[in-house]
Amino acid sequence: MNEFNIFLAQGFLHILDLKGYDHILFLFAICAIFSITDWKQLLWIISSFTIAHSISLALSVTQIMVFDTGIIEFLIAFTILFTCVENIFLKKLHHYRMVLSFGFGLIHGLGFSLMLKDLFMGMEFNLLNTLLPFNLGLEAGQIIIIAVIMTLIYLLRNFAGIKNNTVTYIISIPVGIQAAFWMVQRWPF
């Protein structure tokens, strides 16, 4: 298997690894306010997140940007909590979800870069053979996760008869509690 395929598989497997479920919970939080019919808006939001984390992943792995691991892990938990709070209490910010997701993507990309550096210590990174396929693998896995989340939301709303706001609460409250716990656990200061 060539280097491109190895990094593609590693990106895909990383995002689907349940040990790193903070990103999966973040995707739940992002999707909680949407329905299947909002797929275009959700696509723009996820695309802004993807573009941002691709940028920060490349800048961090190539050592152009260097950040403290503890602060990044804390900020990842913060992005999850903030998204949950926004879902419930800050509905006026929903119009800015694409901008917020871009900013949060920058933070998550730095988190991905920390993992990537640990996973491939000592290997030389280049954009075409390592970073691009790793990122493509992440995105393929992320699309699968979002499809599963949106299917679950669809089933809750259309077959279980749960109202939109209730579905948002069912997702946002436990995810927000977990994120708050992580923030305490990861407090870097």
Residue 59 to residue 163: CA distance in whole angstroms: 42
pLDDT, tens digit (0-9, with 9 covering 90-100), for 34-88? 988 888 888 889 888 888 988 888 888 777 877 888 888 899 999 999 999 999 9
**Which tokens sit at 67?**
């950040």
Global confidence as pTM: 0.87
Q: Environment class of residue 4 by beta-carbon count within 10 Å: exposed (0-12), middle (13-18) or buried (19+)?
A: middle
pLDDT, tens digit (0-9, with 9 covering 90-100), for 144-158? 999 999 999 999 999
